[in-house]
Amino acid sequence: MKSKQFYSSPAWRYCAKYVLLYYANDDYMVQCSTSGVWMPVNSSKAHCGHLHKVFDGTKTNFATALEFENLAPQSHQENVYKGGNQLEMYRWLVNKHGQKAMDLLEIKKNIICKLDKFTMEYWRDYYKQKFNELVAVKGNPWKK
């Protein structure tokens, strides 16, 4: 799977929206995990960043690509121009999920995994359900 295929997939779109909405406040504002900047959750400046990058130029980390504990809200600036600011993101994720979750993620990133059609459909359905459950509670800022 190529980067463009992954980031345009329904699995990633539902996953990213779920992560952003999960961390958003009641005003649909989300704080960047690395810079602290607040952004509207439905803004093009609000990204869902990876601690362990999916495509890093030398290898792939498909096993952690859609793991919730590997993802955090980030500003476009931090995610794109600062390479995700991984040290700060790691600290933020440890604070949110605990050291044990980060240790398990570190192990999982080394597991060989293919993001084939079946796997992507599984993740699409999983995050679609999670997203719809969260929308039922918080509302849908993308429909405003």
Task: Find the length of the chain.
Answer: 144
- The Cα 135–Cα 132 span in angstroms is 5
CA atoms 90, 91, 93, 94: torsion sign: positive
The pTM assigned to this predicted structure is: 0.93
Q: For residue range 101-130, what is the model confidence (pLDDT) as tens digits?
A: 999 999 998 888 888 999 999 999 999 999
The pair of structure tokens assigned to 128 is: 């679609």
State the average pLDDT over residues 71-96: 94
- The Cα 68–Cα 103 span in angstroms is 14
- The Cα 45–Cα 83 span in angstroms is 15
pLDDT > 90: percent of the chain: 77
* Residue in the block written with tokens 């993101």: 89
- The Cα 38–Cα 35 span in angstroms is 9
Above 70 in pLDDT, residue 58? no
